[in-house]
Structure 1
Amino acid sequence: MVTHIIWDLGETLTTPPNGRMDEKPLTEYPEIELREHVLEVLESISHMGLKHAILSNTATSDSDVVRNLLKRLHILDRFEYVFATKSELDPAIPEKPDGIVYHNVLDALEIKPHEAIMVGNTWDTDIIGANRVGMHSIWLQNPEVSVRKDFDEKVNTPPWIVPVWDMKQVPTAIELIVGYGGEGDME
């Protein structure tokens, strides 16, 4: 049964910093805001009985910085767990789509891959990474934020990948995956 939604942060839940990469800690970018409809979607998903976590590739921001950003945005209390890779400037540090970062989050939440759904905007990291470890995913394909470079990567089904074009569609996509009662989960 699905119990958790694991969110990407940048360009999924929040707007990006100027320059698109966190060359300094994310908390030092006052322009970062929540994307439209994020609050109502988080609330709707919580009412479904699901918990939230974050798994984000970042350049210079660690998990504490991301928690401070979420606190500034008044949503930190909605997340059971927050993990930022601080990897984008150091190829030696694992990051999405590497399965180890997904498993680190799943282990911290004490859940199996089929008990989580990844929501993200980047095919090559968020979606393929989740697929490789056995997690369902929702691909936010808003043309302003969607990223896909690898068109040759094969996917496994299940787990399911559901595309959405607007943040407001995420709860409906979750219902499609889980059958809104657990009927669609993988065991």
Structure 2
Amino acid sequence: MVSYVIWDLGETITTPPPGGMDLKPLNEYPDIKLRKNVDEVLKTINKFDLKNAILSNTARSDSNAVKKLLKRLGVLELFEYVYATQSELDPNIPEKPDAIVYNMVLDDLGIKASDGIMVGNTWDTDIIGANQVGMHSIWLQNPSVSVRKDRETKVNNPPWVIPIWDVDSVPKAIELINSCV
């Protein structure tokens, strides 16, 4: 049974830094905000007796910088676990969609892939990566934030991939996934 909802950060729960990449630690960008209704959705998920976690590809931000950002945004206490890859500027560091990153997070959380749901806006990293390790996923397809370049990789079903329009739909998508497992 699903026990964790694992969130991407930029363009999924927060607005991005200027230019889209964190060229300095994310907590040093005062203009980064939570996307609309994210705090309410995170609280709803906690009411479902599920835990929230973060898995985000970042350039300069480590997990502590992301925690500082989440604290400033008033939602750090809603997350049990935060991991930032610091990989976007170094091709030698694993990042989503690499299975090693997903498996490390699953191991740290002490769960099987089928016990997690990945929520993200990028098909190529968030959704395909989760799918390939056996995690369910919720794809935030809002055209203003959704990214898809990989049209070749085949998707396994199950695990389930649920497309949604905005973050408000995450609780219903979780209920749908839970009804199928």
TM-score (norm 1): 0.96
Q: Can you list the C-alpha shifts for 1:32-56, whole angstroms capped at 9, x where unaligned?
A: 0000010111111111110000000
Residue 51 of structure 2 corresponds to which residue in structure 1? Answer: 51
Q: Secondary structure at the match of 2:159?
A: coil
Mapped to 2, the partners of 1:141 and 1:69 lie a distance apart of 24
Q: Secondary structure at the match of 1:127?
A: helix
Residue 6 of structure 1 corresponds to which residue in structure 2? Answer: 6
Mapped to 2, the partners of 1:39 and 1:76 lie a distance apart of 10
Aligned residues: 181
Shift of 1:152: 1.0
Residue 122 of structure 1 corresponds to which residue in structure 2? Answer: 122
Q: Can you list the C-alpha shifts for 1:85-106, whole angstroms capped at 9, x where unaligned?
A: 0000000000000011111111
Identity %: 68
Q: Can you list the C-alpha shifts for 1:20-69, whole angstroms capped at 9, x where unaligned?
A: 10011101111100000101111111111100000000000010110111
Mapped to 2, the partners of 1:168 and 1:135 lie a distance apart of 21
Q: Can you list the C-alpha shifts for 1:89-129, whole angstroms capped at 9, x where unaligned?
A: 00000000001111111111100000000000000000000
Q: Secondary structure at the match of 1:86?
A: coil
Instruction: Give, as a single letter, the amino acid of the residue that structure 1 aligns with 2:157.
Output: T
Matched, 1:37 2:18: no
Residue 80 of structure 2 corresponds to which residue in structure 1? Answer: 80
Residue 170 of structure 1 corresponds to which residue in structure 2? Answer: 170
Runs of at least 5 residues in structure 1 that lack an aligned partner in the other structure: none
TM-score (norm 2): 0.99
What RMSD over aligned residues (CA atoms) do the two structures have, in Å? Answer: 0.6
Residue 110 of structure 2 corresponds to which residue in structure 1? Answer: 110
Runs of 4 or more, structure 1, over 6 Å off, are none
Shift of 1:164: 0.1
Instruction: Give, as a single letter, the amino acid of the residue that structure 2 aligns with 1:68.
Output: K
Shift of 1:166: 1.1
Matched, 1:60 2:83: no
Mapped to 2, the partners of 1:45 and 1:64 lie a distance apart of 23
Runs of at least 5 residues in structure 2 that lack an aligned partner in the other structure: none
Q: Secondary structure at the match of 1:163?
A: strand
Residue 95 of structure 2 corresponds to which residue in structure 1? Answer: 95
